[in-house]
Amino acid sequence: MKIASLAMEEFLSLGKLADETIAEHQESHDPQLRQRIHQLSSILLRRRMRHEFVSALSEGTLSLWAGVMDIAVLYDSTANVAYVEGEVEALSQAISAGDAGAAHLAKVMKDRELRVPSEEILDVDLYLVDRVLEMGSGSAVLLCALAQQAAGDLWPSTMVLRNGRFCLLDAEHTLLEPTEGWRITKLGKDERVHPCSIKDALLAALTQLFLVSLVDGSLRELHHFGSLLTALNGTGLEALPFPLGHAAMPAWQTD
């Protein structure tokens, strides 16, 4: 088993040669070989997507919405991107049909029954935009990103943290709070909030996904989100304790 693991890791490090080998054998008549080749192909694809995500976010070329979409696809490569795009377009049309402002945006989001769960729960689905749109329940950070994307220039806003909760704030100090049922309040002149960068918001979602994987005991997803978080912080999985760090299982078994 150890020899097989080392062979798999060595193969995955071959770059272009690995791609050529996968292309040559992915339709093999040998069912065992075909299964292993498809497994390797999936691992390589996920690794490359992680690398592209980390590079784009580190270089400042990744928008918040693109990052939200990437996280959904990184978790599940079959995520229905077309469905998400269609739902966002429908929200945008509903927002543009009324008066520009926080009040109408809040009404549209409530009418669509997009809400933060009343109880604090750890659930992967709350941080994946396709599932948030399907279920109607989402984390505050995801709902803020969704509302911001749908509203666009009709209601320009900044994502902020207020009392530890993600909200949207406009230039007139109007605050929209998804955690409070899309409540609208006027921010006091002396009241401080923390503006969130794109990296702040995406790291918040990734950290929660890592915690869910830890609680669920999903080693594959723990490795996946741990790889993203450590790469974004300039370290590697070796900095984490077992089973992700030293003496961990081979990466190909958890990727």
Average pLDDT over residues 77-96: 95
Question: Among 33-47, 198-212, 221-235, which stretch is predicted with the lowest mean pLDDT?
Answer: 33-47
Check if the beta carbon of residue 53 is closer than 8 Å to that of residue 74.
Answer: yes
Percent above pLDDT 70 for the chain: 78
Least confident of 13-27, 132-146, 165-179: 13-27
Q: Which residue has the higher pLDDT, 82 or 50?
A: 82
- d(CA 191, CA 175) in angstroms, rounded, equals 12
Checking if the pLDDT of 248 tops 60, the result is no
* pLDDT score for 188: 85
Evaluate if residue 223 carries a pLDDT over 90: no
pLDDT at res. 206: 96
Q: Is the pLDDT of residue 202 over 70?
A: yes
**Nearest-angstrom CA–CA distance, 120 and 182:** 17
DSSP state of 137: B
| 238 vs 124: which has the higher pLDDT | 124
| Cα–Cα dist 84/79, whole Å | 9
Task: Report the share of the chain in percent with pLDDT over 90.
Answer: 58
pLDDT confidence of 34, banded at 50, 70, 90? low
Q: Which residue has the tokens 């994307």?
A: 149
Least confident of 13-22, 119-128, 228-237: 13-22
**pLDDT for residue 201:** 97
Average pLDDT over residues 124-149: 97
Summary mean pLDDT of the chain: 85
Structure tokens at 207: 């950290």
Taking residues 210-225, what's their average pLDDT? 88
